[in-house]
Structures are given as C-alpha cells and as structure tokens.
Structure 1
C-alpha cells in the first residue's frame, strides 16, 4: 500500500506542471523570436500519426529502424529514411511504458503491469510484473530489463521470458512518476535509484558501484525528491543525467565515481555530445555544461517558460521541442537560435532520437516527425 500511495503522490508531483499555462498567475512563455534569415534549413522528411503518445515512453533507434509504441498498444518498426512500416504488432492493451529494442526483440509494458516481448512483429511472451512501470524496458544481450516505479530491477530471458534476477534495494519514501534511468555501459547495467547512478551486474543483479548525482535538500519528501530522469547520456566512459529538480551531473562508469554535479532546477532529461551536456532549468533557460568539468559554456534565455523538452545534439546544432510543438535549432557553441520547425501544435513529449542523421520527434497528439537537420 505504501508503494502505491507513494506512486500516486509522485504522479501528482510529475503532473503538476501540466497546468502551468492554465493559471492566470503563471509566467508567460517567451514569444517566438523573429528569424530574419535562418542559417540552416532543416526539413521534415516524413511524418505519420499514431495514437496518443502522452504516456511516459521512448523511441528506440536500431539497425536503420525507429521503434515506436502508441498509447493504444500498437507497436511499430519504421524505416528511418522513409517512415514505411517494417512490422506492426498490437499487444491488445493500453500501454504505461514505451518501447525498448535491440533491433530484433521489442518490449513494452501495459497498464495492467504486463511485460510484452515482440519478435519481428509477433508477440513472443508476456509476464505480469509486481508494480507499475513507466520507464521503457531495456533490451540488450538477449535479455529484457525493467525498472519499476519503486525502483526494482528485473531481468528476463528475451527468448522465453525466464526470470534471471530480481534486484530489490531499500525503497525511497517517495518515487517519481517519470521514466527513470536504465541503460548499459559495456558489461554493466546502469540504473537510476533515487539520486544515485548504480552499476549492476546484468547476470546476477548485484551492485558493482554507485555514485550520487545530487544531494537532495528540502523540508519535506516532495522537496527532497531527486530521482534520476531519462534519458541517460553516454560519451565514452562518462555517463550523465539529470536529478529531478535538483542537479545535473556526470559519473565515471569505469571508476564508479562522480566527476561533477551542478545544482540546477528542471524536471526533464538532458542531451549531450562529446563536448557538452545540454538541458533546461525550471524557467526553461537552456544551458550547455562542459562534459569534462561541468562549467557552464553558455545559457540561452530566448525560450523561457516555453516548457522545453529533452535537447538532442545534431552535428553543429542542438534541437529542442516546446509546448506548442515547435522544434528549435540552436548553435551548439553559443546557444543562438538558428532555425525552427512547426509540427502539429501540441507539446513534444518524447526525447528526440537520432539515427543516421535523421531526428525523430513525437508530439502529444501522436504526430511523428522525421527531421533532417
């Protein structure tokens, strides 16, 4: 009962920002800049419409394909260059978590807490999980890993659904109703548990190392809520993430030690490349931090209160979506706006994914837009 109560309360915390612009006292979003001459010319290669995608989910890109899941339970593999459907599967239930894939197997979780694994468009097996899941499953090494809302980690054999391990840690008093960190570095599973990044043996479910990204402060459990938020950014052996409303930081996966942590508000995940980590703060000021030191390289204030999503580094620019469905492109070295593209007018709700120079974004209304920067 405690876990469910914590989840319900965290859901309110996560959803409280949804009414931000409905209040007359809320700060007004910055108006769109006048772009006299765009210095780059991004274009939409293709777009599709699927069912509502506003549930916590992710798009996965592997082997020339984007893997997407709609809220109604339809999972698809789409050719990255054309948007043509490679395969399509209906799991028969609404989803609570989006799709993870290794290129062959795809995995989703239903609102009934069923983990469903698909092989080439056919449902292979189903397993009922003990508690709800929001983070997309991770598929790697013919294993499927899931992170539940109470931060349990379970691993299953991708071929037959056999449980490999169930890793339970002492629970946090409150957990966040946003997708948490679940990734991989070489032969180590990377898991976000509260404000800590944890390296886990993927065969045994034992902890190899853990390192804090944030040191939460506050007078109550809500203020101290600092779960790591997806996506995980990897550059070599450096792993970076945002701790909800608390900090942005990077960890050495080889040493299992914190490299740097910077106190900064904000609720959405971060993006990055070989030089910088990019993210928005609580007022939607977009910043770049040097990945080696954590020093601020620049801060851009032209998007304040526009409810920015997760940034994505693409060549010499960074793209980021907002609450009106615009995709903005800024210069990676300065934060200066280069161009923008409209979508369908609804918020960009997923972290954009890059594959072979094509970025795919998804909107709350179910629009998929493949963009060539």
Structure 2
C-alpha cells in the first residue's frame, strides 16, 4: 500500500506523477490475499458502536484511535463527537459534541480527555462527565493523541513543535521545535511521558527527550540519517510512539531502524535495520514490529535478534501490534483483525467487523481487544482457546 505523504502542492503533484508512472506493474506492492488458517483461538465480539466519520475520515488518513482508562473507552470522530463507553459492555457514559473537525486523540490522564483538530484547536474534557474544562489553540494541524501526566498536557503538531500546556488551565508552559523536512509522511508520533521526561519522535529521524517542567532537552538521538538520491528515498520519519518497558524504550522509523534506547540517556543498546511507519509493541522479553511492507517481526528484547518473521500479510497496511495474554493482534486495510501466536508468528484467529481500514493500534486489556476503524466504528473482542474434544 502506498504511504500518505505530506508536502507542498507542487512537490505533491510531482511525486504523484512519479508514483503513477511507476504503477504500471500491477504485481508491485499488491496486498496479499488472505489464505485459510488453522483457527486455534475463538474470537467473540463483545460489543460495537459507530461514532461516524466514514469515508471522509478515512480519506484524510486521520486514524483516530481509542484510549482506555478507569474502565472506560474514550473515542472521537472527525465530525466532532467524543464518547465515553464502558469497556465491559460498550454502554455510553457520556457524549460531547464539539464543533470542530477532530484529527488528534483522544488522550486521557489525570481526569482529562483531550482532543485536537485540523485547525489547531485543543479541547480538554472532564473524563467523568464530558464537560469542557478548557480550550486553547496552536498554529498547526494536530494529528496524534496528546500525552497527559505530571500536571501537563503535551502535544505534537505537524510544524515540528512539541508543546506543553497546564492541565488545569490550558495555559502554555513551554514549546520546542525540530526541523521538518520538505517531504515527510502524513502523521506524527504520539509523545510519551515517563520518569518526568517527555519523549517523542520527529520527522527528521530524531528521538528527543525533554524535561517535562521546562522543555529543556535532556538528550537527542538520531535513529537513522537520511540516505538515497531522491526525497522519497530520504524519508526517515519517526511517526510511531515509542514503547517503554522498564528502563528502556523501543522506537522504529521509516526507511530506518528499530532500536532499544536507554530512557535516561538515549544511548542505543541495539538496532535492527527495518522500515516501519506503523509501529511496534513490546513486553519484557519481545518486541513486535509491523514493518512498512506488511511483514510482522518479533525481536528478542535482550539483543534485538530476530525470533520470527511473518510475511503472509504483506502490503495489507497493518496497524501496530497489540499484545494480549493469548496472542498479538494487528488490524489491516480491509478491517480484518489477525491474532498471531507470540512464539511462532503463525496466524491463529481472524475476524472482521468493519469495511474500513484499522490503522490505529488496537488496545489490549488481558485477552480483550478494543479496536477502532478509520470509519469511526469501535468494537471490543475477546479471544480464548478453542474447546478441544
């Protein structure tokens, strides 16, 4: 599947013509056809609801994803709807109608639910009631969920800025900026708050950690440097949020590497060459990566050695993996969810609940998976071993 690229109009037109000229080979980058699998997990849909958004939300490549906290699922649509649903049964707790085109979030924490818009609007809602707590504005489009913690709300915007706001008032606290390449992928990394640091990837291939109180840079690490002759070849965006496990974090980039870094220094302990703009998930022993070409790879957390590699879903535009008790789960461009054996990578269950792509990472709670399609459909599934005998 082709990547969604952000660039000025003239350059976009040239890139489109170049890509069109390369598309005569109908076998190139075609999504793999689904094959029969031996089902070892029984998947049950617990509930589903539709927030709307449909094709318009999908064409904008927003990929709005759910957030889970305190037994509630928070979800938003491009049409300005934000809802809180019970994890157990999907029943609505509250609904807020905001008059803005939501493109970022929701993020949740410290009793807040925060969303952003294509026009730079930021709205903080009370997590318990959905009432508006405050509003503010930045001068750029917002495309990723905010991080909330340590009394601040932190957001990335498409102009390369990472900005912090007081969680009680919405007043700006600090702002830093990284250079944005002339050509970059459409999408930005969700920042992560850990150990009084804010860590985020940027379009220039860097991962930066700053002090959460004042924005001072603590460390900056280049995950990979641009290479190649063309602007397309030199894309090195780190558009996926990092995964934090213990004292280490894991990050992956487009045309770059997947790496383990030290949280306190940014030192790279190991790196594995692979391209991903979809994301990864990690636990104490294993790192699971959805590569740009649709392959899913498991790496040993200790040293980055490859454990298994599954390429049967190539070019199906996969989401980042979610780690459940029983398996890992990825979504694809046709709305399918695939459960993979953690030890072997073999697909052991599959279901479909939407005709729209699932680009936002599913959220795992034990063996329950919360998923939101790009069309605005939210659903919960539970997988358990099939009865034998």
TM-score (norm 1): 0.90
**1:274 deviation in Å?**
1.8
Deviation at 1:287, TM superposition (A): 0.9
1:31-70 paired onto structure 2 within 5 Å? 31-36=33-38, 38-52=39-53, 54=58, 55-70=62-77
Q: Does 2:380 match 1:370?
A: yes
348-357 vs 305-314, which deviates more?
348-357
1:95 aligned onto 2:102: yes
Kept in 2, the 8 Å contact 1:61–1:354? The answer is no
User: 1:114 and 2:118 equivalent?
Assistant: no
Partner of residue 29, structure 1: 31
Q: What's 2:288 paired with?
A: 278
8 Å contact 2:119–2:139 — kept in the other structure? Answer: no
How far apart are the structure 1 equivalents of 2:133 and 2:181? 34
C-alpha distance in 1, partners of 2:12/2:80? 22
Q: Aligned to 1:72, which of 67, 79, 90?
A: 79
Superposition CA RMSD, Å: 2.6
Does the aligned pair in 1 maintain the 2:200–2:242 contact within 8 Å?
A: no
- How has the CA–CA distance of structure 1 residues 205 and 7 changed in structure 2, closer, same or farther, with 3 Å as cutoff? farther
- Structure 1 residue 148 corresponds to structure 2 residue 157: yes
TM-score by length of 2: 0.86
Cα deviation code 1:14-59 (max 9, x no counterpart): 9x99xx99984544332322234x2111211111111125314332
Separation in 2, partners of 1:132, 1:23: 35
Gaps of 5+ in 1: none
Verify the 8 A CA contact 1:199 1:209 in the aligned structure 2.
yes
- Counterpart contact for 2:278–2:292, Cα < 8 Å: no
Distance 1:169 1:363, change over 3 A: closer
Distance 1:123 1:271 in 2: 32
Supply the distance in 2 between the matched residues of 1:216 and 1:131 (Cα, whole angstroms).
25
Pairwise CA distance, 1:254: 2.5
Residues 248-259 of structure 1 mapped to structure 2, 5 A cutoff: 248-259=258-269
SS of the residue corresponding to residue 234 of structure 2 reads coil
Note if contact 1:56-1:179 (Cα within 8 Å) is conserved in structure 2. no
CA distance in 2 between counterparts of 1:22 and 1:106 reads 46
Q: Partners of 2:35 and 2:246 in 1: how far apart?
A: 36
Contact 1:213 1:250 in 2 (8 A): no
Conserved? CA contact 2:155–2:163, under 8 Å: yes
The alpha-carbon deviation at position 173 of structure 1 amounts to: 4.2
- 2:254 alignment partner in structure 1: 244
CA distance in 1, matches of 2:103, 2:346: 37
